[in-house]
Every structure is written in structure tokens, then in C-alpha cells.
Structure 1
Amino acid sequence: MNQTFQTPVEYLKGTGPSRAEVLKKELGIYTFEDVLRHFPFKYIDRTKFYKIRDTNPDMPHVQVIARLTHKEIVGEKQTKRLVAQVQDDTGTMELVWFQGIKWVEKYLVTGKAYILFGKPGSFNGKAQMSHPEVEQYSAEAFRRQGNATLQPVYSSTEKLKQFSLDSRGLQKMTSFLIEQHAREIPENLPSPIINKLKLMNRAEAYRNIHFPTDANALAEATKRLKFEELFFIQLKLLRNKLLRTQKFKGNVFDKVGHYFNEFYQHKLPFQLTGAQKRVLKEIRLDTQRGVQMNRLLQGDVGSGKTIVALMSILIALDNGFQACFMAPTEILANQHYLTVKNIIGDDFINIALLTGSTKQKDRTQLHKQLEDGSLHILFGTHALIEDKVQYKNLGFVVIDEQHRFGVEQRAKLWRKNTIPPHVLVMTATPIPRTLAMTLYGDLDVSVIDELPAGRKPIETLHFYENQRLRMFGMMKQEIAKGRQIYVVYPLIKESEKLDLKNLEDGIEVMSREFPLPQYRLSIVHGKLKPAEKDYEMQRFVKGETHIMVATTVIEVGVNVPNASVMIIENAERFGLSQLHQLRGRVGRGAEQSFCILMSDVKLSRDGRIRLDTMVKTNNGFEISEIDLQLRGPGNIEGTQQSGVLDLKLADLTADQQLLMLARKCVEEMFEQDPQLSHPENQILHQSFLSKKDGLSWDKIS
């Protein structure tokens, strides 16, 4: 935007310091541009007028012309209100105001006709309207409302309404801004793109998003501004990717040697799937190019991402480099460490684990081995990025469940070597294609879309509370076969706000139904000390206990092939992504596994969709698409703090086609003009690259 739109909002006519202060606090509106970008959330048709007898409480909003026959202020202090009566040739209606009484009472004149607009209601069997918008009737006012099409409705707050900044007040403020300054709104898209896609120009789009001339104009304005949002996200991501390939050299892994071949021929515990081989080839090609690799590896729970990461690390070792493997929790870091240790044995390569629980004596030795190069792979949590952790030659970094790490935390790993290490980020939370393109659009993406051979699909069942005895019966049958069971609860202690099963009650119920000495329980939750948690986990891993009663602390990082049943209490309270992660804790052996979703009989629409989806499919990507539709992109795990999805208009679920189009436009533009130096692309330097467009972008990867 040009300089005009950076003007503080207090200088907008009719606003002033006190209104400006409340706009800043309540809506984050600081400048003219913020006013312009506070879009309506809906529109109301003001062309139609109703007779009083034709109104009813089921109608959303109506417009009535009626004459004022009576008005009075009734009640004292807290109960004070203004009550008025109006009538037309079909009946009478009561109007009532609880706020702004003095101003409205002065404005209303008995005997005059008014245009009234509001939500119709009923009180004591009579038509009523609370806090209607009121305008004195005149031929001009009637013509204006009759010719209007769609009136914008803006979100407001009670505090704003005290300053007459309800939807109507915000509408007036926006209208004045557009009348005075719309012609100064600069274009920010290259004309070839505007012409090719037949997009509305930017100034007209802002005018019509606030005050559309008709429904078609609103649709065109919305399309233009949504495209603009998505275009600049993709421009930012793909430009970052381009700059990184130009700026950051990468170590060349030009050979596959002893470590990789020895592992592949003698230690690999199973045959690789076609998908795993494909991803390994993609990583191999990346690490030969002399450019720093930044690749996202998506794979469903149990698809074999860890083996792919390990084999990629072995290529790094073959080329004289060290590697590190960072996970968000101690449980997960420990799990990866033990998994790799069990696969490779004790005499193959030197690996170690560094977490907050690592003792100082072990840390000292670990730091020494890292610096002299005798330690090959370091597993750990955030502890890996501490300044005192120094590597001799870090060449490969694996980050698991990377959405749980901040941008700066990841960047610290880059600085652990003169030439930044290659980076492989992994997630077991399948990401919908549109979200991946938006959150990770500057990364290359690999997908493992096959499960290892011999795995049977997990059978998912939905039981209601009255089927609990059936659930107990299934549990006893599986334990009799020598299998183990997870029972997951959403809370540790009973909540007064949520009527949920909780862990403490669950332990009592399970202890009664599965008594000692025939059955043994492990108990795991987030309030346990790390040593206690690890002790309980290990008892279950070793098969010393039959049932693990836990909270969602076991969502990731627990791998017990003998566990064949996952029971999730109050399953309707969990998100789809979390349900899918929990289900993935079973089905890791060759035996048939089950996931039982326990719920109340009464379910919300979304709750029912989630549970039905889980019963219907095991496909994580299909689940993720439904999750995106239900929750929206801002609430998908980890994306809220990404700084990318500050979308005012665009919706990644509804606007997939537009997102694809925006990305294609950016890709074609960079193919033809990588430096954006062509005359038609100079506009991007002004509006985006010089950061004068009011858009705040953080570095993503």
C-alpha cells in the first residue's frame, strides 16, 4: 500500500484518539490499511421491505417502514430501557433499546415515519424488534435502500459498540475511507497475470468487497483478493527456495560406501517398500547436487520413515560426516534411539542420546566424542541445539514431528557447520496437499504411501457407553492370546467443566475389572517424573504388564509390536489427527489389531463425522483432508504459530483450485524471470520485496 494507508487510524475523519484506542485494543486496527483489511463477515440484502404482519422470529433480518406512535423511557438504573411503538397498515410492532437510550430517544419523533432494520422477535405474543437500525423515512432514503444490494456486516465487540462502532459504525468509517482514498490503492500484481486470469483491478476489488454493486461484483472482488493472498504466500515460499539454492551450498555426498552397504546387506530387518526406495533415491539425488537439501518426508504411522532417515544418515557417514536426529519429546527421542540401536547392534557405529535428563558426566564424554568425530549420530531433544553442543563435521540433520519446533530452533542446527547440513524434516501427521503447499511450499516433499509387507489393516470399532461389557470381553480375549492393550483417557483429573472419563477413575475401573495377580497394569501420564514414566513404559515394552492406562502422552514414541488393541475413551473429544496417531500405536506386528473408540450416545455433528471417518478409513491423507474441512487450517496441529496462515479471506479447503492456480503462476514467473527483473515484474519489488505492502512474513524453513 502507498504511504496514505500507513496513516494512523486516529486521523481518519470521525475517528479521533479515543475511538482509535479502542479499535487498536479490540480489533488490532492501527492504520488506514487495517480498516481496509477488516473485511465484512457477511452481507445482508437491503432491497426488500416487509409489512409488520409478514415478519416472524424465524426470519434473520427484515426491513420495515412504519410510523412512530409512542415512545417512553421505563425502569430504573440497571433495568432502564427505551420502549417505542410503531405501526403500518397491517399492524403494530414494539421497539426496545437497552443501550444508547438518550441518543435514540432524541432522534425519534412521534408521528414521523422511519425505515427500521433488525432481527424480528416476539414478546407476549406481539411483534418486537430489539436495537433496530433506524433511519428517518424520505424518498431519498427509500430509493437508496431499495437500490442497495448487499449491505456489509462487520464483526464488532461490546466495547466498540460503546463508542458507536457497531457494524453500522464500522461501515460508515470504511465507506469514508474508500470514498476518499480508493483511487490511491496501488496495483500489486503484474499486468500479464491480471489480464490472463481476467482479475478485477485491486482498487475495484477493495471497493466491491466492502460495498458490492451486485453479487457478481462481490464474487469477482473476493476471487481477486483471495488470489492475491495465496499468490504472495507462494511467491514468498518459492523465492525463499530459489534464494536458498543460490545462497546455501551443500556438502556433496558423492559415494555410497561401507556403512550403507553393510547395513543394507546384513542388518536391514525387512525388505524396503517401493515407496521407501523411491524416497531414498530422491534424497540421494538431493545430496549429490552441491546445494543444501531441505526435504519434507511425509509418511503414515508405521510406514517406515525412521529406516529411510537412518539409511540417509549412513550415506552421510560414508562421506565423512556426522548426523543428528532431533525429536520434540524425550519419549520420542528415546524411542528413535532405541529403535536404531536395536537394528544396528553395538559394534557398527557409535550413537548416543542427549536430552534434559542426560547426566553431566555422560554429557562431558558425549561433547568430547562429538568434537573429535568419534560419535557418529546424536539423538536428542532441544538439547541438541545448545551452544555447547559442537560437532566436528555435521552433514545431515533429521527433525521429527518438525511442526513442534520453532523457526529459530531449527535454524540453530544450520549454524552447527560452516556449510549448512542437509535437512530432512519428517511428520507422521499426514498433511493435506493444500496445507503442505502453503506451510512447506519452499521444501521438496517426499511421501511414503505404502505400509511394510505383512501388516494387516487395523480394524476400528465404535462402541457406545452401553457396550462397555463387550469391550471388556474383547480385551480379555486378546490378553488370553498373549497380546497387550492401551487404554487412553483425555484427562488426568476430573474436570468440572467437561463431563469426561478421567485417568484416575479409569485406573479404578480397570483395576476392578482386571484384578491382580491375573492381570497387571502400567500407568503413564504427563505428571509423572521422567524416570517414573520410563519405568512404567519399559514394564509394558518388556511384556511385564498387560494393559497400559495412559493419557495422550503415548500419542507418539511408543512402539510395542505385541500391543494389539487401542481403546480411546471419550473419543469424540479428540481431533482426527490425534485419533489417527493413537491408532497407529497398534498394528505394528503381524497379528490383527483393533482400535476401539468409546463415546457417549449423544454426539455433535463434527464428533460423529470424526468417529465415522475413523471407522471407514485407515488412510492418513484421506483423514487429514476431512480434518482440514472440520477444523480449518489455523487449527491444524502446529500451523497456528507458523506465521504463514494469516489468511483474511482465502480458505485452504474451499479455495484449493485458486491455490493451485496461484502456485502455477508463481512457478511460471520464476521459470521465465528468476530475478524478477523484467519490467512487468517490477511491481512485485514495490509491493512485496520491498515490504511496503503491509504484509509481514517470517522465514519459514
Structure 2
Amino acid sequence: MLPFELTAGQLEVGRSIAEDMARTHPMHRLLQGEVGSGKTVVALRAMLTVVDDGGQAVLLAPTEVLAQQHHRSITAMLGPLAERGLLGGSDIGTRVALVTGSLTAGRRREVLLDIGVGDCGIVVGTHALLEDRVQFFDLGLVVVDEQHRFGVEQRAALAAKVRDDQRPHVLVMTATPIPRTVAMTVFGDLEVSTLTELPRGRAAITSHVVPSLERPALLERAWERIAEEVSQGRQAFVVCPRIGDDVTPGVADDEDLVAPAVDSSPDRRPPIAVLDIAPELMAGPLSAVRVGVLHGRMSSDDKDEVMRRFTDGPSAPDGIDVLIATTVVEVGVDVPNATVMVVMDADRFGVSQLHQLRGRIGRGQHSGLCLLVSEMPPGTPARERLDAVASTVDGVELSRLDLEQRREGDVLGASQSGRRSSLRMLAVLRDEDVIAAARAEATELVARDPLLSSLPTLARAVAALLDEDRADYLEKS
């Protein structure tokens, strides 16, 4: 019994997934929903369906912070059912295992053995799950959280960890589809479910652009607003695009910067860094609050400790009021007491990143405020992008904006960057009606003549395409 009531949307999507999984061919479904719409609990119900049938389910997360949080939340929701065969556990249920790169050698051997013999029915992990030595006893479902953080080949490597070439069901989740995913939703055989409702009690989020060069007083006001929120018992994030000490972005859990090349200039200063701004804020406008730092170069133990202190919040003697971090907090971090986020150099982030980041606030009863700080002048593409993000919290609308600016990606290969399209005569947004009609006709044709016996020329062309490496996405996306 869940400690909360599922929304009508969650129940409807759950039924669609159950119908998919009851069919003879593997499910391949995209679950999209606004940040905080409850995608994880829908995925958990699907995982439990597989476990009840004697199989295993795996949840792939992009960061250790998110993987650990998923492990904690799933274990908490299942209670004794998540500790089958262990002291204090239930005689029924399953074990929930966590696999990350920071496991000790001894613990890793123990967990991999439990997975290999089937004692662990639910496995949560990071890229460490993709290693060859991770083998499943009977993998029935692959869930990929925040799928835009993984490439096609990475997702395919996990789905290939099966016996007897029986491909598992695949459920990919996203809050903001990125260009290639939008294109594949139309081109590929990918069913889509959308959660439009937010859980009861979820507060609203408002966003504003802070032009720090034009109106520096607004940036000072941002720090004052954080102090005011903390004085009322709430918490805040400050997000920066770089760790510091000239470390290249992309280290460990931190994302590469994704600002379009048109915004770049040889005269631009380096991006603001966590390790540079943290001491300035602690000695200046945030000197009266407790500040913590989080980034991908920290050890797993240190990251866990910082997140524990931030989650414990103002009531804890060692709690953290304001967390200064990189994009390591972009996905899955759930601190309902956090109400303000200041994103420094916001123009250096992509649309989907900004949407994900602001989803970390306003997760409780108090509304959220996201401040997008930028030095880019009005009228520039970067500023227009920020204005668009600030004007809406509609993930579908933002995905279209992302698609317009970054294009569809390499729809015939594994690339997911989106900057350059391999389409020559077609644009996904402009030609939506044409694509939909073509897909419907193709679906009808295959249903009527699965082997294309009546169209030998087309059959040969399809066979040739399927033989090419660049067509792997039809199986692996």
C-alpha cells in the first residue's frame, strides 16, 4: 500500500504499460511528464510486475546522487518487501540492489553475485551497470531515467544483458524530450505516455531572467531573497556551470556545457565556477547562512554526506541551508523544503537542463522561484532562449523550442547532440503532418503484409537498411 494516492494520469499510464507488457513482443515506451509528475512510482509498478513474474528489473540513472536516491525511495516504499531473505526482511518480495562505481571490491562482488543468481529482483545503478561483468539471471525490464543523459549505445548495452536473445521490455523516462528523442517518437516504433498532472500539494514555480550587467542590483536582490527564505526555515540552490580550478566540464557527474556556438565569443570570460563563487558568497551576502558545496569531483562519501545535511535541512545541527553545486543536482534530487534556485551564467545551459534544474525547487507546499542570471544582452539568441524558458513551465513547449534551436540530431545513428541534422529534405516540426501520415501508412502496410512480399523492391531496400550499422537505432533507441 502506497502512502499516497496515485493520480488519474498515473493509473492510466500504468494500465497502458501493463497492456504492453502482456503482449508477445517487448514493450518500447517513452514516459514523459513534467518534473515532479510522479514518473518513478509508475516505473516501480512496472518493475514489480516483472518481479512478480519471476524476472528482474533494472533502473539506470545518470548520476550516483540520483541512483542512491532512487534506491532509498524504492526501499522505503517497499519496506520489508525490499529485503527478502535478509534479517528483518519479508519471506516474500525481493531485494533491491544498488550498483555504482564507488562500491568497494568486496561489496561489488557480493552484489553482482546476488544479481547473477537472481536474488536481487530490482537493481538500481549508474553507468557501472553497463560493465561486462554485470550479468543478470533473468532481465525482464530496463527503465532508463532521465534518458537524455544516455546515448543510444549505452541504453542498448544494458538491454542486451539477457539470456537466449529474449529482449527485455524498455521504458525510458524524461521530463523534457531532447531533439533526437522527439524525432524518434515520430519516426520509430516508440509508444508515448504523458503525465500531465502534478501530485496533489505540489506548488508552482516562477522563473525570471536576471540581467546582471544591465541591472546588477537585481543580482544583489537575489542573494537577499535567499537569505529571506532561509530566515523562514526554507532552503536554496545556487547552480554554476563549472567546478573550478580549470577543470574541464563533464568530470564525473557534471554535464558538459551545451550553449550553442552562436553564443560563444573569444572575449567571453570563463564560466562561473562553484569553487570560485562559494567562498565569495560565504564571506559576503550569504555569510549568515550555512552553505554547502556539491560537485562531481567529490568522493561518493562526501557527496552523500553533503546531500544528507542538505536533506536534513534547517532543523539539523549540521544542516545546510544553501547548496552551491554544478549540474550534479540536475536530476532527481528531492528536497521539498528548497524554494529558491539561482542559476549563474544560465545562458551556458541548454533548455532541457534549465527545465530540469528548476524542477528541484517548489516540490513541497511552498512555491518555487528560479532566477536565471546572465550577462547576455537583449536580442541575442541566448537571451531569447532564457526569456522563453522563463515564460513557460510547459515541458512539451520547451522541447519544441529545443528542437527548433538544436534540430533533430542524427536520427539514423547514435548521436544525440542535436546540433546537426542528418535529415536533408525534412524538418520534424514543419512536416509533422507528412511524417504522421507516412508512419500511419507504413504501419498499415506492415500489418497487412509483414514480410513485404507484395513489394519486393521495398523489401530489399529495408533489408539493406537493417544491415547497416546506422540503422541500429531501430532496435536500440
Counterpart in the other structure of 1:454: 201
**375, 388, 399: which one pairs with 1:600?**
375
Instruction: Identify the match of residue 159 of structure 2 among 408, 413, 418.
Output: 413
* Residues 569 and 443 (structure 1), Cα distance of their counterparts in 2 relative to 1, 3 Å cut: same
Is residue 2:189 matched to residue 1:442?
yes
SS of alignment partner, residue 306 of structure 2: helix
Range with bigger deviation, 481-490 or 378-387:
378-387
Contact 1:328 1:405 in 2 (8 A): no
Amino acid at match of 1:675: L
CA contact (8 A) 1:397 1:423 kept: yes
Corresponding position of 1:554? 329
Measure how far apart 1:581 and its partner are. Answer: 0.8
Farther-moved stretch of structure 1 (665-674 vs 324-333):
665-674
Q: Does the 8 Å CA contact 1:330/1:355 hold for their aligned counterparts? A: yes
**Distance in structure 2 (CA, Å) of the matches to 1:280 and 1:436:** 24
Query: 1:292 aligned to 2:26?
Result: yes
Question: Structure 2 matches for 1:569-608, cutoff 5 A?
Answer: 569-600=344-375, 602-608=377-383
Moved more, 389-398 or 453-462: 389-398
Residues 227 and 289 in structure 2, CA contact (< 8 A), matched pair in contact too:
no
- Return the match for 2:298 from 523, 528, 532: 528
**C-alpha separation between the residues in 1 aligned to 2:190 and 2:327?**
30
Q: CA deviation at 1:672?
A: 3.2
Q: Aligned partner of 1:285: which letter? A: E
Q: How does 1:164-179 map to 2 (within 5 A)?
A: none
8 Å contact from structure 1 (residues 461, 596) kept in 2: yes
Residue in structure 1 matched with residue 136 of structure 2 by the alignment: 391
Q: Distance in 2 between matches of 1:639 and 1:630?
A: 16
1:506 aligned residue? 277
Distance 1:373 1:690, change over 3 A: closer
Structure 2: state its 5+ residue gaps: 83-93, 247-265, 314-318
- Could you tell me which amino acid in structure 2 is paired with residue 410 of structure 1? A
Change (3 A) 1:699 1:692: closer
Q: Which of 475, 481, 506 is residue 226 of structure 2 equivalent to?
A: 475
Deviation at 1:491, TM superposition (A): 2.2
Counterpart mapping for 1:486-505 below 5 A:
486-493=237-244, 498-499=268-269, 500-505=271-276
Mapped contact 1:276–1:448 kept (Cα < 8 A): yes
Tell whether the 8 Å contact from 1:522 to 1:547 is kept in structure 2 after alignment. Answer: yes
**Percent identity over the alignment?**
40
Q: TM-score scaled to structure 2, two decimals?
A: 0.82
- Partner of 2:384 in structure 1? 609
Instruction: Give the aligned partner of residue 282 of structure 1.
Output: 16
* Counterpart-to-counterpart distance in 2, 1:693 and 1:417: 23
**8 Å contact from structure 1 (residues 400, 427) kept in 2:** yes
Structure 2 CA distance, aligned partners of 1:594 and 1:655? 37
Cα 1:593–1:694 shift into 2, 3 Å? closer
Q: Verify: 1:327 aligned to 2:61, yes or no.
A: yes
What are the superposed Cα offsets for residues 298-318 of structure 1, whole Å, 9 maximum, x if unpaired? 122111111011111112222
Cα distance change of structure 1 residues 505 and 360 upon mapping to structure 2, 3 Å threshold: closer
Secondary structure of residue in 2 paired with 1:429? coil
State the TM-score, normalizing by the size of structure 1. 0.57
Describe the shift of the 1:398–1:525 C-alpha distance in structure 2 as closer, same or farther (beyond 3 A).
same
Higher RCO structure, 1 or 2 (CA under 8 Å, sep 6+): 2
**Separation (CA, whole Å) in 2 of partners of 1:448 and 1:381:** 25
Q: How many residues align?
A: 431
* 2:278 counterpart letter in structure 1: I
CA positional deviation for 1:284: 0.9
Work out whether 1:683 is the aligned partner of 2:457.
yes
Shift of 1:521: 0.9
Cα contact 1:432–1:621 (8 A) shared by 2: no
Of 287, 312, 319, the residue aligned with 1:542 is 312
The letter of the residue matching 1:538 is R
- Whether contact under 8 Å (2:176, 2:398) holds in the other structure is no
**Aligned 8 A contact 2:185 2:191 in 1:** no
* Structure label with greater radius of gyration: 1
- Deviation of 1:589 (Å): 0.9
Give the whole-Å Cα distance in 1 for the aligned partners of 2:128 and 2:181.
33
Residues 443, 471 of structure 1: alpha-carbon distance in 2 compared, 3 angstrom cutoff: same
C-alpha distance in 2, partners of 1:692/1:618?
A: 39
| Partner AA of 2:182 in structure 1 | L
The alignment partner of 1:398 has SS state of strand
Q: Judge conservation of contact 1:434–1:656 (CA < 8 Å) in 2.
A: no
Contact 1:485 1:547 in 2 (8 A): yes
Structure 1 CA distance, aligned partners of 2:200 and 2:103?
37
**Structure 2: how far apart are the matches of 1:494 and 1:526?**
13
1:550-594 residue CA offsets vs partner (Å, 9 max, x unmatched):
122211131111111111112222221111011111121121111
Distance change >3 Å, CA 696–CA 377, structure 1 → 2: closer
More displaced 10-residue stretch of structure 1: 361-370 or 478-487: 361-370
Q: Which moved more, 1:345-354 or 1:621-630?
A: 345-354
Q: Could you give the per-residue CA deviations for residues 469-497 of structure 1, whole angstroms, max 9, x where no partner exists?
A: 22122111110111110001122338885
Q: Summarize the Cα distance change of 1:549–1:676 in structure 2 as closer, same or farther, 3 Å threshold.
A: same
Deviates more, 1:424-433 or 1:346-355: 424-433
1:392 and 1:284 mapped to 2: Cα distance? Answer: 22
Tell me, yes or no, if the aligned pair for 1:487 and 1:549 is still in contact at 8 Å: yes
Which segment drifts farther, 386-395 or 475-484?
Answer: 386-395
Q: Let me know the Cα RMSD of the aligned residues.
A: 2.9
Aligned to 1:174: none
Letter in 1 for 2:284: E
Change (3 A) 1:523 1:296: same
Cα displacement string for residues 525-565 of structure 1 (whole angstroms, at most 9, x for unaligned residues): 23323333332222212221111111222111311111111
Match of 2:123 in 1: 378
Query: 1:693–1:533: structure 2 CA closer, same or farther, 3 Å change rule?
Result: closer
Paired residue for 2:106?
361
Seen in structure 2, the aligned counterparts of structure 1 residues 430 and 565 have a Cα distance that, compared at 3 Å, is same
SS at the partner of 1:542?
Answer: helix
- Contact map agreement 2:235 2:322 (CA 8 A) in 1: yes
- What amino acid is the match of 2:290? R
* Aligned equivalent of 2:47: 313
The one-letter amino acid of 2:196's match is D
Aligned-partner Cα distance in 2 for 1:464–1:325: 40
The one-letter code of the counterpart of 1:590 is Q
> For residues 699 and 297 of structure 1, what CA distance do their matches in structure 2 show?
18
- 2:262 is aligned to none
The answer on whether the counterparts of 1:439 and 1:639 sit within 8 Å (CA) in structure 2 is: no
CA distance in 2, matches of 1:597, 1:379: 33
- Deviations, residues 581-639 of structure 1 (Å, cap 9, x unaligned): 11111121121111111122624532232222222211111111112112222399x85
**Which amino acid in the other structure matches residue 279 of structure 2?**
E
Amino acid at match of 1:426: M
* Structure 1 residue 433, shift from structure 2 partner: 10
Contact 1:316 1:323 in 2 (8 A): yes
SS at match of 2:120: coil
Specify whether residues 383 and 472 from structure 1 end up closer, same or farther in structure 2 by C-alpha distance, changes over 3 A only. closer
| AA matched with 2:464 | S
8 Å CA contact 1:299, 1:430 repeated in 2: no
Deviation at 1:408, TM superposition (A): 6.0
Contact 1:300 1:449 in 2 (8 A): yes
Shift of 1:641: 6.4
**What are the ranges of 5 or more consecutive residues in structure 1 without an aligned counterpart?**
1-265
**AA in 2 matched with 1:668:** E
Is 2:446 aligned against 1:670?
yes
